[in-house]
Structure 1
Amino acid sequence: MTKTDLGIYVHIPFCVRKCDYCDFVSMVGSPDEQAYYIRVLKKEIRSFEALGNLYLVRTVFFGGGTPSITDVSQLERIMEQLKEQYEFAEDAEITIECNPGTLTEEKLVRYKEMGINRLSIGLQSTHNEELKVLGRIHSYEDFLESYRLARKVGFTNINVDLMTALPGQSVEAWEDVLRTVVALAPEHISAYSLSIEEGTPFYERYGSTKGRLLLPKESEDRQMYRLTKEILGEAGYRRYEISNYAKKGKECRHNITYWNGGEYVGFGLGASSYLGGKRFSNPRDKQEYWEFARNAYHHYKELTPQDQKATMEEFMFLGLRMMDGISMREFEEKFHVPFTEVYGTPVRRMVTQGYLEEDGNRLRFTDKGIDVSNQLLVEFLL
């Protein structure tokens, strides 16, 4: 029997301190709280044991939170259980998110021994004053030490997360950040624009009309965005998704699974899954999750697969984030309906306006379309 490719996401919600802009499911937790969480998490993973023979694991992603603050032995137990339940591809991509200052040489060695072969380091900025504004606990010097150790231990696939359009940030400051990181030659760079989310300290500071005056102007944000593409392109990084750049062959395969509509299962507090045509998320509240995790597979079995309309919308929303865009032929093979019958009208309009371009059977945003992609994507709601 041919097995279906699967991505696995494992959410480790604990941080040394929650950043002021963060609205992810994360918290400060004592060693005892972390140990209890891992035990519950393993129960959730075990509840899906019946699916083990159906899937081949292509990617694993430990996200958070800050997974790198967790005791390595706890992560080793999770990996052991996953490998007991699932067959892993020989070249499986296994990523862990790390924060500078939370890595040691011993920890990195053990990561490699447990099969982790990709690091995603949350730098955000090379300027210490900007890191302080964000509420980060590390300095740029801490990042350099963590990066040096990772290279020393032998990691050859490292992503660096950066954040643009920060309070008080100038276009010149952002250019300096980009050139400084490019000089280090990581294999992958993610560059996201700051988003001000309700319920965060940043929303209280910058969410009002007056507060937004402290942020870069929209024109400056656009300049930073274009500068990112220019500088990283010149340095050999190909933009393969709106905010992600990689050297050849170093694209994040786990995230591509999301954008291409592949199957993945998320374990842990607030984790999301798309499995067997069913899209679902775990509770974000700790107490609810404790109860839910013990019978997670039962909850999954009770779900109804999402309807074709929702799946079509996601095909467009997610696929058009990729620079390669979507295949109209694949759409028709998947949904058994002519592409033009469903989306012909908005596509013709956006092609005429210069927001979309056709290349054979593929459809993708132009640079002009990418600039306003969030507004354009609503056109694909059915």
Structure 2
Amino acid sequence: MSEKQKLELYIHIPFCASKCRYCDFLSGESTPEAQRAYINQLIEEIRAQGQILPEYQLSSIFIGGGTPSILSGLQIQNIISAVYENFVVEADAEISIECNPGTLDATKLEYYREAGINRLSLGLQSADDEELKLLGRIHSYNDFLHSYELARAAHFDNINIDLMSGIPHQTLHKWRQSLKKVLRLHPEHISAYSLIIEPGTPFAALYGSEEGQKALPGEDEEREMYAETKTLLEEYGFTRYEISNYARPGKECRHNIGYWTGVDYLGVGLGASSKLKHHRFHSEERLDRYMAVEMHRDLMPLYQDLVALTVADEMEEFMYLGLRMTKGVSGADFYDLFHLNMFDLFGDAIRKNTALGLLEVDTPMLRLTERGIDLSNRVFADFYEVLPRNQALFPDDPRNLF
């Protein structure tokens, strides 16, 4: 019997109590009836996907949103049960769920434990109540503390906390205070992201103009925040293993590492993205159309923007996603995958960014320097669309989706 291939599963729950002012995710408010109908359809999709992907086993499951914790514990348990009934799940699979403070209680957490969830991701964003109101969050810092204490009481020992820098009117001092408050709680993982003003959001209307941007921390202050994050977290025993993610030893997010290192992933639910069998696609983004798909008959109406990836696409993705990891990318791994020399193919980009002090070579590894991390988007651009698109130039690689 051939060994099953590794697959990561993302499950999208598009519901939230209230839309945050910076958020452009596919999510929104809904009724309990709409949520129940969606869950039934989601479970049908999970069943159908499991039937057509028997060659895979799941190494991780990530339930995101929206706010998955807005659902009842039983509803989450039913979703995970459907996964186990239709997929082979590794015995030590990482199973994560995103939770918003103010939507958790002891009963939900008990259901999570019974379902096999072993990692929580709490969306705090800021430990400053004024900043939370500005962001449009539904909770206070004390609400977050209550949720965190409930999670510890329920014996969750792998908790991530999301924090956001670059918030309007935020100062380095305020950011430092948020970090210190969170560090005193001794979580296992911290994701520290910078705010991005996304088009079409309320924040874009408020802060997208030249005048509005004056309320945002300047570039120098953002870099100071970034440096302060690394310094403080290292003092508390965290290691930065990816540009925006810090963990205690052994508590790195395995699901996200799989994404950055090219593991196939399947997204189920409204608008969920997938990279599977050398193809990239996402699910239907309109709720009425998603609900109308007859999952048991034909999944093809579900798939949008289906693109076959060339070998060149995957080589470039190997570089600009893998370089997000602080350990860098391995020339030996590249050769094992593509049977070509990474340093020859991307020699111009590597030499240019090494000369600028943005990359460093420690054969067979190539990684960003500290300055390169600050200017990572500039580095990644040099690895994007630099190879010929002619797939015939590369080793044979038959590509069939289903």
Q: Same-fold call, TM > 0.5? A: yes
Q: Is contact 1:119-1:158 (8 Å) kept?
A: yes
Name the structure 2 match of 1:322.
Answer: 325
Per the alignment, residue 341 of structure 2 pairs with 338
Distance 1:48 1:125 in 2: 38
- Partner in structure 2 of residue 353 of structure 1: 356
Q: Deviations over 1:250-285 (max 9, x none)?
A: 000001110000011100111111111111111222
TM-score, normalised by the number of residues in structure 1: 0.97
Shift of 1:340: 2.9
Deviations 1:336-373 (A, max 9, x none): 22223310011011111110001120101000101011
The structure with the greater share of residues assigned to helix is: 1
Q: How far is 1:77 from its partner? A: 1.6
Moved more, 196-205 or 84-93: 84-93
User: In the alignment, residue 379 of structure 1 is paired with which amino acid?
Assistant: D
Residue 284 of structure 1 is matched in structure 2 by 285
State the 4+ residue runs in structure 1 displaced beyond 3 angstroms: 297-305
Aligned to 1:206: 207
CA contact (8 A) 2:61 2:94 kept: yes
Q: Which residue of 2 aligns with 1:143?
A: 144
Task: Describe the superposition over 1:123-156 as per-residue Cα deviations: whole angstroms up to 9, x where unpaired.
Answer: 0011100000000000000000000010011000
C-alpha distance after superposition, 1:292-328 (max 9, x if no partner): 4623267669966311111111111110110011111
Query: Do the aligned partners of 2:284 and 2:302 also contact (CA within 8 Å) in 1?
Result: no
Alignment partners' CA distance in 2, 1:329 and 1:293:
44
Paired position in structure 2 for 1:305: 308
Aligned to 1:175: 176
Structure 1 CA distance for aligned equivalents of residues 352 and 55 of structure 2 = 42
1: distance between equivalents of 2:307 and 2:205?
Answer: 39
User: In 1, distance between residues paired with 2:145 and 2:221?
Assistant: 28
2:172 is equivalent to residue 186 of structure 1: no
Distance 1:136 1:164 in 2: 15
- Give the TM-score normalised by structure 2: 0.92
The answer to whether 1:375 aligns with 2:378 is yes
Q: Is the 8 A contact 1:96 1:118 kept in 2?
A: yes
8 Å contact 1:48–1:297 — kept in the other structure?
Answer: no
Distance 1:57 1:205, change over 3 A: same
Segment drifting more, 99-108 vs 279-288: 279-288
CA RMSD of aligned residues (A): 1.6
Deviation, structure 1 residue 170: 0.5
Deviates more, 1:75-84 or 1:299-308: 299-308
Structure 1 counterpart of 2:308, one-letter code: P
CA deviation after TM superposition for structure 1 residue 242, in Å: 0.4
Question: Quick check: 27-36 or 301-310, which moved more?
Answer: 301-310
Q: Following TM superposition, by how much is the alpha carbon of 1:71 offset from its aligned partner in structure 2, in angstroms?
A: 1.9
Counterpart amino acid of 1:174? W
The letter for the 2-side match of 1:355 is L
Q: Could you list the runs of 5+ residues in structure 1 that have no partner in the other structure?
A: none
1:123 maps to 2:150 = no
**Structure-1 residue corresponding to 2:134:** 133
What 5-or-longer segments of structure 2 have no aligned partner? 387-402
Describe the shift of the 1:298–1:206 C-alpha distance in structure 2 as closer, same or farther (beyond 3 A).
Answer: closer
Q: What code does the residue aligned with 1:164 have?
A: S
1:60-75 → structure 2 map (5 Å cutoff) = 60-75=61-76
Q: Structure 1: how far apart are the matches of 2:354 and 2:94?
A: 36
Stretch deviating more after TM superposition (54-63 or 125-134): 54-63
Whether the 8 Å CA contact 1:41–1:293 is kept in 2: the answer is no
Question: Could you tell me how far apart the structure 2 residues matched to 1:374 and 1:292 are?
Answer: 38
Q: Which moved more, 1:20-29 or 1:306-315?
A: 306-315
The Cα shift of 1:44 comes to 1.5
Is contact 1:7-1:254 (8 Å) kept?
Answer: yes
Q: Which amino acid aligns with 2:257?
A: I
Contact in 2 for aligned 1:94/1:116 (Cα 8 Å): yes
Distance 2:220 2:251 in 1: 31
Instruction: Give the fraction of aligned pairs with identical amino acids, expressed as a percent.
Output: 49
Indicate the SS of the match to 2:357.
coil
